[in-house]
A = this chain, B = another copy of it.
Amino acid sequence: MNKGTLVVLSGFSGAGKGTIVKRLMEKYDEYILSISATTRKPREGEVHGVHYFFESKETFESMIQNNDLLEYAHYTGSGSYYGTPKEFAMKNLEDGKNVILEIEYQGAMQVKKQYPNALLVFITPPSIEELKRRLISRNTETAEQIQSRFETAKVEAPIMSSYEYILINDDLEEAVDDLHKIVKASRYSTERQNSFISMIQNDVKSLSL
């Protein structure tokens, strides 16, 4: 088992994922955010290896072929690929870092399949009323954009229970500390202790004075 934990975070738009991740990394230096690879062009100020790994379509497709991605998606509208490079995550896990992926359901399921020890956490506000309040009070979006986020929430709610933990973001500091506890505790979960259990079960057979 790697020394760090691969932490996959999904959740409703408006749940506060980004804020939680930012605060988690400020508070505990054992976390690092995965950098995605994409074929879309860099926007002003975006730096390769900081915001994204900007790759050509050919490179990205060869990464898919070589199984160099933990998950990826192809957006038919823009034609762009987005994905999570495996090497960056694995290297940091080996160094003892907990690597955070902020991705959506389809990607989360792909990661879990390739890396069964991944910890899948779904972040949600304490109620739908509060979700609505947060999305409306942003004041940066049109009614149409807000309505589209509502529709996405309706699609996401049914898949919540595919995650291992449901983190309720009511108070930010509490949510950050609870997420940290979930990450630490998850390493002791029985399904992640299989090799330790096998060792104990094997060694106990020869136990004698």
Contact = CB atoms under 8 A, between A and B. Distances in A.
A201 interface: yes
A20 to B, nearest CB: 13
B147 A209 contact: yes
A178 B182 CA distance: 10
Interface in A150-209: 150, 153-154, 157-158, 160-161, 163-168, 178, 181-182, 184-186, 188-190, 193, 196-197, 199-201, 203-205, 207-209
Given A157-B200, A160-B201, A197-B166, A178 B185 contact: yes
Q: Is the interface of A mostly helix, strand, loop or mixed?
A: helix
A44 interface: no
A146 interface: yes
B197 A161 contact: yes
Q: How many copies does the complex hold?
A: 2
Interface of A: 124, 127-129, 131-132, 136, 143, 146-147, 150, 153-154, 157-158, 160-161, 163-168, 178, 181-182, 184-186, 188-190, 193, 196-197, 199-201, 203-205, 207-209
21 contacts: A127-B200, A128-B203, A131-B207, A147-B209, A154-B207, A157-B201, A157-B204, A158-B201, A160-B190, A160-B200, A160-B201, A161-B190, A165-B188, A166-B193, A167-B188, A168-B188, A168-B196, A178-B185, A181-B181, A184-B185, A185-B185
